[in-house]
A and B are shown apart, each in its own frame.
Chain A
Amino acid sequence: MIRRRSLLATTAGVLAMPAVLRAQTAQKLTFYYPIAVGGPLQAIMDGYCKDFQKETGITVEPVYSGDYSQTLIKALAAIKAGTGPQFAVLLAAEMHSLQDQDILISLDDIGLDADAKKWISNFYPAFLANSHVDGKTWSVPFQRSTAIFYYNKSAFSDAGLDPEKFPTTWAALAQAAAKLTKRDSSGNVARWGIKLAGDLGNAQWTFGALANQAEQKLMNEAGTEVYFNQPRTIEAMSFWHSLSAQHHATPEGISNWPQLTPDFLQGNTAIIQFTTGGLPNFRDKATFPFGVAGLAGKNSPHTVVGGGNMYFFKNATKAEQMAALKFARWITAPERAADWSIRSGYIATSPAAYETPALKEYIAKYPEANVARTYLPVATGELSVHENQRVYKVLTDNIQACLNAAKTPAKAMADAQTEADRILKPYRRA
């Protein structure tokens, strides 16, 4: 009897061996990442993972998984099915709703030594704004950006505007955009003055910048309240609406994010509000001189931060989580952050990266790459609440209704507020 039991135990032990081994030395990780900008980012990411494998022996398999929404959907579906990635790059603004899903593990719970704590304190504070809850850090800034204007300098000269002096106020911007809009003899538009993205997944980001320009916050820090029906929010909506309705400088209806890049490169649109991540693509493909400028504001420039952080999932084994954290530290080290910034156009996530020779040299040669960083002090956090996607959808629907002239700005924002209040109600019982 004893023999049989010990035999059983030994067998079980032998069977469990591979699992134990795997737990001790995570050799293979999978992570999901989105691409939201043009350019060969996939190849760059593959290269990093290969280098990491050479240095540490840990294989990281990067899975390109569409845009931010698609990546979130795929990651959540895979995790719910029990086969998810160990970590992923997701929107920094998703933190509250990822907490709702109860799938995250904080960096503190994976384990941070003094060295690692110092590493976290080296990021730009603006990029960590969406990372803290309950005194813990939940994500690592990775591909971060701000909304920024790209403008066609030839079009500026053509319209009799000074290409070196970009407007800084709403009034001046609207006026310039109207001037930049060129119509042929039969009244058809040959060039639009300005385009802002209003499609689902991007409208709330565009609008976050506009609201900040009117100096209105869109949500509280706990992610349980939104301020859509505030007078200054309505003012922001009215300004967006007026660009087509009053100034005729942007098409009626909505413009789609994926269309902005070809529109700008084709010379179809003189100014686009886009992400800093678009810079290398424009640099390589634009056939005209173009400029980068901070977003104008009601009175002075203001913008919104955006982009993705690395999140770690609690369904991974301890060893896998530690390996993933190791990768995060490796890929955000100043030299690599500098390289990623140069090749992707994203803002390097730490001031130390801007002290590296590579980035210093690049900025000296290419001052446009430094513009976005100078607007970090006037950047606000992205709209981030519980049930984030649902609130985004409600806000986007109403923005689109307003841009399609189905609702007035005040009505659209009031409706968005009512709906968002209904969605967020369960989260207010603290």
Chain B
Amino acid sequence: MVGMRRETLQAYLLLLPAIVLLVAFTHWPAVATLIDSLYATPHGSRPPPFVAADNYQGLIDDPVFWQALLNNAWYAIATIPTSIVLALLMALAVNQALPGRAMLRMAYFLPTMLPMIAVANIWLFFYTPDYGLFDSIIALFGGGRHNWLGDASTALPAMIVVAVWKEAGFFMIFFLAALQTMPTDLKEAAALEGSSRWNYFRRVTLPLLMPTTLFVLVNAVINAFRVIDHIIVMTRGGPDNATTLLLFYIYETGFRFWDTAAAAAATVVLLTIMALAAAFQFGVLRSRVHYR
């Protein structure tokens, strides 16, 4: 009994650094945000009054908040599957014996290594109307100009393309690592059985990649709500909120308007969405991804 206790104590001591860091930088801020979201924004040195759900009512009444949610939903629906499929295709491509394979792998991974701010500035040039990269290429084929970022109908798709380009290479690395740990005897056995390549991919490779895919999916979902650097650099949420994502809305409310209470309420909404997504991914999907 005494020995058990000592072991338990030891275990907790070993966990302590991680617990302290998690509580200080993850759990406490989340709880503090929840508490702050129930109070009005403090002005000067007066303590803010308790307002219960007023801040949430304010969000419900704000059309920009709803548009940010809707935009973010489209953004997630478009970026997550596209970047995962693209990453898988790229990983399969560079997993074969090819001349210049190392270069190709690096080329695919390059977008991940560049800082998003720098990347966004390069893409600003790509999207420049008339003489930017895309319009120059389109002009070669006789096409006209596009106000990619200044037109409400193309601004969000333009942001989605940047995100997919940035993320796919990162996810490719995980798929590539998983592919390389796959035992080669499976492939030999499949070849002996006379299984076609597509059949092998569908019945063996894909199921074995499922745990990796779940991990990538979790990351993709988080990034769809977390990365807004390119929005800040390229569109600032415009035109007319066409590219306002949830986190950008929170940033503007908190740090441009200094309405910290409303920003806290919106943050709680964001946290709830993320928690639900995580619960679904780990609770429902995880039990199904392992190959049995």
Contact = CB atoms under 8 A, between A and B. Distances in A.
A200 B238 contact: yes
A404 B151 CA distance: 6
B256 A396 contact: no
A100 to B, nearest CB: 8
A396 B43 CA distance: 26
Interface string B161-198: 00000000000000000000000000000000000000
A251 B256 contact: no
A76 interface: yes
Nearest to A100: B43
B151 A253 contact: yes
A199 B130 contact: no
Interface in B235-265: 235-241, 252, 255-259
Interface of A: 69, 73, 76-77, 100-102, 186-189, 198-201, 251-256, 258-259, 262-263, 266, 268, 387, 389-390, 393, 396-398, 400-401, 403-404, 406
Given A73-B256, A252-B151, A400 B239 contact: yes
A346 B143 CA distance: 40
B28 interface: no
Interface of B: 43-44, 64, 124, 128-131, 139, 142-145, 147, 149-152, 235-241, 252, 255-259
Contacts, number: 86
A100 B44 CA distance: 9
A390 B258 CA distance: 10
B150 A101 contact: no
Contact of A252 (B147, B241, B256): B147
A232 B78 CA distance: 43
Cβ-closest 3 pairs across A and B:
A253-B150, A400-B239, A253-B151
Contacts of B139: 188
Contacts of A254: 147, 150, 238-239
Given A253-B152, A266-B131, A189 B240 contact: no
B239 A389 contact: no
B130 A268 contact: yes
B150 A256 contact: yes
A100 B64 CA distance: 24
A255 B142 CA distance: 23
Contacts of B239: 198-199, 253-254, 400-401, 403-404
